[in-house]
Amino acid sequence: MIVPKGRKSDTQPALAEYEEPPPSYEEPSTPVIESVVPSNTKASNYVNIQRYMNNIEESFFIDPTLRLPQALLPSLKAGETEDTRRNLSIGMTMGSIDVDVTIVYNEGFSQSSETKRRVILVVKCTMGSVNMRLHAADSPNRHPLYLHVCSKAGSTGLSLPRSFAGLITIAAGIGAVELSKHLLQFATPLGDAGKGGRRYFIGDLSKSFNNNANDWNGDEVLIEASLGTVSLKRDDE
């Protein structure tokens, strides 16, 4: 379920704020990259970690198709239902969060209605930085992703899978919002999101919405950062 993180990356690509309209969204043809669990570990689901102090530095393999007995499931949080149960929930009061999260792609469920349900990930930190690397398969049949990151006082760094296509809302307080040059190539700005906030759509808008679609049920990221820089890039940078 949980694999201790080896070491942090020694390289951090340069980041730049959005300045010019992005080119049209076109990806080179590449083979599908599957999310594979190492042979020496097992994937899990509905993981809940809540800590008051110290740091969280771990890796997680989340299989959204994995069913757990009711007795092993964490209690539902306020406003949460079985349909919106979090596949991964991490909370920290005083300390940093540095996690690597892989969403396991189960090809056996690729054509079933099971893939319609979003994978829900929530990461919250009251006092400390958040650094998260999110990986998912390059398959159109994978589960849509919903990620909510909340950082009250500290920087936020997020790496998104290259297959991410959807909405990004950044509610920023005091601190810069930075997208990598590579990610900006696929970002359509949608305006501000409150004071200092930004909204983007990553991917091709013309291919992502049905004519009668009123709600977005695909990939989505919500970042709430009160004090600290917000930096985003793709996990293949």
Given a contact cutoff of 8 angstroms between Cβ atoms, the answer to whether 119 and 135 are in contact is no
Distance CA 185, CA 195 (A): 24
pTM of the model: 0.81
Distance CA 209, CA 171 (A): 24
Query: Tokens standing for 2?
Result: 């949980």
Higher pLDDT, 112 or 109: 109
Length of the chain in residues, anyone? 237
Does residue 194 come out as left (phi exceeding 0), alpha (psi in the -120 to 50 range) or beta?
left
Q: What's the Cα-to-Cα distance from 121 to each of 105, 208, 221, rounded to whole Å?
A: 16, 22, 10
Check residue 109 and give its pLDDT: 65
Residue 31 pLDDT grade (very low, low, confident, very high; cuts 50, 70, 90): very low
- Over residues 42-48, mean pLDDT: 94
Query: Tokens standing for 103?
Result: 């969403």
The model's pLDDT over 133-191, given as tens digits with 9 standing for 90+, comes to: 999 999 888 999 999 999 999 999 999 999 999 999 999 888 899 999 999 999 999 99
Enumerate residues 6+ apart whose C-beta is below 8 A from 74.
Answer: 46, 48, 89
Given a contact cutoff of 8 angstroms between Cβ atoms, the answer to whether 77 and 85 are in contact is no
Instruction: Mark out the alpha helices in the chain (DSSP H runs).
Output: 181-184, 205-208
Please compute Rg for the chain using Cα positions. 17
List, in sequence order, every residue forming a beta bridge with 94; answer none if it has no partner. Answer: 53, 127
Query: Tokens standing for 97?
Result: 């969060």
Whether the pLDDT of residue 34 is over 60: the answer is no
For all residues of the chain together, what is the average pLDDT?
A: 83
User: 101: how many CB neighbours lie within 10 A of its CB?
Assistant: 25
Q: What's the Cα-to-Cα distance from 205 to each of 24, 148, 202, 216, rounded to whole Å?
A: 10, 22, 8, 12
Instruction: Mark out the alpha helices in 149-198 (DSSP H runs).
Output: 181-184
